[in-house]
Amino acid sequence: MEHTMKAIKTAVVGLGMMGSSQIRNCLWKLPQYEITAICDPFTPNLDACRILFTERGLPVSCYSDLADLLEHADCELVVIVSPDYTHEKIACDCLRAGKHIRLEKPLAITPAGCANIQRAQAQSGKLLQIGLELRYASPTRQMRAWLPRLGELKMLTCEEFRPPFLPKRGLVDDWITKKEYTGGTLLEKNCHHFDLFNWFAASRPVSVYASGDGLVEYAKTDILDNAFVTVEYENGIRAMLALCLFAPKKIAGSSLNELEMGLLGNRGRLELRGDEVFVWDRETGGEECWHYARENFEAHSDDIIPSLVELADCIRNGGEPLTGIQAGINSALVSFAAERSAEQKRIVTIAEIESESGLKFIV
C-alpha cells in the first residue's frame, strides 16, 4: 500500500540535533514523505540543514520564520522538532493553518499549554502524532506481545541511569537544563517512561509521589538529575521510575538509552535489558530471551520510523495514531504531578492537576 501512496509534502520545523537526525535517518528513508520546506530561526542550524539538501541535490524551501512558512510553503504535514518551550505556539499555529502535525514530546511545558493544543486540534480536525516513540520500539512491542504470560500485571519498574543532556546551541543555549524552558526533567525526559507506564497499566493513575533533586550534574540549575517516582493506578498497579543522569549504566548493545524496564505479574515477570527481553515463568521457573538486532542507533530512529509509517497511513487512509494527543496529555499529566510532588515533597493526585487545567486523563 505504502509504495503506491502519493508522498506527503512535509515541512520540518526545528533543525537541531533531533530535527536534522529525523530528516537524515527517518524522513529521507521513507518514500511516504517528501520534505518541501525547513524552518529554523537560528541561522547556523538552518544553513547546515540547507547544505544537507544541496549535497543531495534535493530542492527545499528554507524559512527562518514559521508564519512565512505557513503562508508560502507547499505542505500538508509539519514535523515539529523545536525546543519544548516552543511546542505550544508552533503546534497551535500549524493546526490553525490546517496542517497535520507530528510534535516532539512533551506536548507542552504547562497544563494550560497542553489544553491550548488540545483545543486547536479539536477545532482543526487535523491529525496530531506525539513523539512518544518508545511505544513503537521493537523490544517494547515484544513486551506487549508477551504481556499475557504474566497473568495479572501488578508492578512496573523503569530504570534510566543515563548520561547528562548533550549541550544545546541555539536561540537559548542549553535550554534543556532550565526548568522554565522544559517544565523540568520529569516532564522533558520521563514523559516517555510515564507514557509506557500508562500504556501497560491501561488504567487511570491516581497519585504520584516523587523524591528528586539536582545533586551532581545539575546542582547549579533548577532541574533534577536524580529521582525516584512512584505512580499508583486505579486498578492497583504500582509503578516506579528510578532516574539518574550522573552515573550512567551502559548496557552492551543497548540502544534504548540505558533504559531497563520490568513488568511483574502474578504468573511471571518480563524484563527489558538493553535490546533483550526476558520472560520468566513463576510456575516452571523457566526463562526465555528475545534479542533485537538493531540497525540504526542514532536518536531513536529505529523507533521513529515505524511511528512515521503509521502516521502516513493515518493521513492517507484515516485512523488515529497510537500516540495521539491523548497519550501526550496522559503522560504530561503524570509528569506535571511528579514535578510538583518533588518540589513540594508531598503526594500529588492527578485529579489536582486535572481540576486546575481542564485536562482529563482518558485511558
Asked if 99 is part of the footprint of ligand NAD (rule: CB under 6 A), the reply reads no
Q: H or E element: which one contains 103?
A: strand 100-104
Asked if 84 is part of the footprint of ligand NAD (rule: CB under 6 A), the reply reads yes
Which residues, 6+ apart, have CB-to-CB distance to 47 below 8 Å?
none
Contact 19, 39 (CB under 8 A): no
User: Alpha-carbon distance 21 to 52, whole Å?
Assistant: 11
Q: H or E element: which one contains 46?
A: helix 43-56
Find the binding residues for ligand NAD in span 158-177 (CB under 6 A).
168, 170-171
Q: Which of 5, 9, 18, 155 binds ligand NAD (CB under 6 A)?
A: 18
Q: Which of 81, 137, 241, 264 binds ligand NAD (CB under 6 A)?
A: 81
**Contacting range for ligand NAD; rule: CB under 6 A; set: 2-10, 75-83, 210-218, 352-360:** 75-83
Q: How far is the CB of 325 from ligand NAD (least distance, A)?
A: 16
Q: What are phi and psi of 11, to 5 degrees?
A: -110, 140
User: Which cell is 313 given?
Assistant: 497511513
CA-to-CA separations, 275 to 159, 252, 289, in angstroms, rounded: 14, 9, 10
**Beta partners for residue 66, in sequence order:** none
Q: How far is the CB of 303 from ligand NAD (least distance, A)?
A: 8
Asked if 52 is part of the footprint of ligand NAD (rule: CB under 6 A), the reply reads no
Asked if 184 is part of the footprint of ligand NAD (rule: CB under 6 A), the reply reads no
Asked if 363 is part of the footprint of ligand NAD (rule: CB under 6 A), the reply reads no
Asked if 82 is part of the footprint of ligand NAD (rule: CB under 6 A), the reply reads yes
C-beta nearest to ligand NAD: residue = 16
Q: How far is the CB of 189 from ligand NAD (least distance, A)?
A: 8
Contact 63, 342 (CB under 8 A): no
Q: How far is the CB of 54 from ligand NAD (least distance, A)?
A: 18
Contact 25, 35 (CB under 8 A): no
Asked if 143 is part of the footprint of ligand NAD (rule: CB under 6 A), the reply reads no
User: Alpha-carbon distance 274 to 259, whole Å?
Assistant: 7
Q: How many residues bind ligand NAD (CB under 6 A)?
A: 28
Asked if 50 is part of the footprint of ligand NAD (rule: CB under 6 A), the reply reads no
Q: How far is the CB of 45 from ligand NAD (least distance, A)?
A: 4
User: Alpha-carbon distance 240 to 243, whole Å?
Assistant: 10
Q: How far is the CB of 38 from ligand NAD (least distance, A)?
A: 10
Nearer to ligand NAD, 104 or 271 (CB): 104
Nearer to ligand NAD, 14 or 139 (CB): 14
Q: Which of 102, 105, 273, 294 binds ligand NAD (CB under 6 A)?
A: 105
Asked if 131 is part of the footprint of ligand NAD (rule: CB under 6 A), the reply reads yes
Q: Which of 45, 138, 140, 142 binds ligand NAD (CB under 6 A)?
A: 45
User: For the chain, how many residues are written?
Assistant: 363
Place of cell 511483574: 264
Asked if 330 is part of the footprint of ligand NAD (rule: CB under 6 A), the reply reads no
User: Alpha-carbon distance 331 to 361, whole Å?
Assistant: 9
Torsion angle defined by CA atoms of residues 261, 303, 196 and 144, in that order, rounded to the nearest 10 degrees: -80
Asked if 260 is part of the footprint of ligand NAD (rule: CB under 6 A), the reply reads no
Q: Which of 102, 193, 269, 300 binds ligand NAD (CB under 6 A)?
A: 300
Query: Can you spell out the DSSP letters for 117-185?
Result: HHHHHHHHT--EEEE-GGGGSHHHHHHHHHGGGGSSEEEEEEEEE-PPPPP--SSSTTGGG-HHHHS-H
Nearer to ligand NAD, 94 or 359 (CB): 94
Q: How far is the CB of 64 from ligand NAD (least distance, A)?
A: 9
Residues lying near ligand NAD in the complex (CB under 6 A) are found at: 13-19, 39-42, 45, 66, 81-84, 86, 90, 104-105, 131, 133, 168, 170-171, 188, 300
